[in-house]
Structures are given as structure tokens and as C-alpha cells.
Amino acid sequence: MLPSESDLCRQYSVSRTVLRQALGELEDDRLIHKVKGKGTFVTGRPLTPVSSSTRWAR
């Protein structure tokens, strides 16, 4: 499970908007998934191309 959004914002000195954009991209790439009221969880790396900016994920 990832730390809370507020903890991540403090740790990386970024705004909540920037953090949510980054988390959204990770979710689009299926590397994390969010469960309302539970948290954000790492899913692992898919074995297929994840985006146009990435050739292949391991």
C-alpha cells in the first residue's frame, strides 16, 4: 500500500494536483489501483507495452 496523498506530497514537495496526475498515469498503466476508503495499492508490472512513451515493461 502506498502512503497517503498528503504524505507523498510532503515527501516529494509537490502539489496535490501534480501528485494526482502522476498517480493517474500509474493507474492508467495498471501499475497501481485505488480502492475508495482503503488506499492505493501497487499491482506490479504488466508484461505488455504500457504506454506510447514506454517500449516494454518487464
pLDDT of 31-50, one tens digit each? Answer: 999 999 999 999 976 656 65
Q: What is the pLDDT of residue 55?
A: 55
Query: Higher-confidence residue: 21 or 51?
Result: 21
The reply to whether 34 falls in a domain is yes
The reply to whether 51 falls in a domain is no
The reply to whether 56 falls in a domain is no
Total domain count, the chain: 1
Q: Extract the C-alpha cell encoding 39.
A: 488506499
Residue 2 and residue 35: Cα distance in Å, rounded? 12
Distances (CA, A) of 11 to 3, 20, 43, 53: 10, 14, 22, 26
Domain that holds residue 28: 5-42
For the chain, the first-to-last Cα distance in angstroms comes to 21
The reply to whether 17 falls in a domain is yes
The reply to whether 18 falls in a domain is yes
Q: Taking residues 17-41, what's their average pLDDT?
A: 95
